[in-house]
Structure 1
């Protein structure tokens, strides 16, 4: 039986009144863990342990990214260990400062596009132009990927 949380129940009721399609409640424990890799490179993860000892992992810094669901704590440890190792290697080889600036600006772009979408009557043509420029950027990223050497894993 799930323990009731009055604030959670109030939120659920209000969200139902707003028309929420579904609300799932899980007994969970949230963990936030951060790693300081130096030179301004901080890696932060959030994971939840849900009822039945299932795990949901997200990387929050240097940018937010859902990593997924895991069935064991060892999978969480393995993923984070490998991820931190990759960031350390990449930091040694690549310019971390430029990467951090790029990651921060990508987050700003995402937030700004959302703000424009939610608060302004933007023409379809303007959105298409932004999408075309974004697709050109994705093509540039793929060109960079193809011409760059892969960082070898241990």
Structure 2
């Protein structure tokens, strides 16, 4: 009886770890579309069911650590890319493991795109889709395991 209870508890703990990862919340490496090199580290947080994400590290060799978003047109104009909030307002779609309805900013061109976040591979990767009028591109980010 004790072995059965212990086994059930262990299984529940392991399963909850898997389910807990099937969310965009966490730390991610963004990958350059062209070179497939790691570009930056992004932390996505949940604030009352609404996601936000900030650049916490610039990881390219040639990255300027003091770069600013000089092409941004909103409150992020001329703000440092390090610490910049690039994800705003995404919420979980009802009945799906998809977060949408927010915006994602490309600090390289200052443009904001409609956002869709979909965890894949049991939450080890994140499909990040930015689009305008349904036309856009999807990047795959990789979860940073601590």
TM-score by length of 1: 0.26
- Decide which structure has greater helix share: 1
TM-score by length of 2: 0.27
Which has more radius of gyration? 1
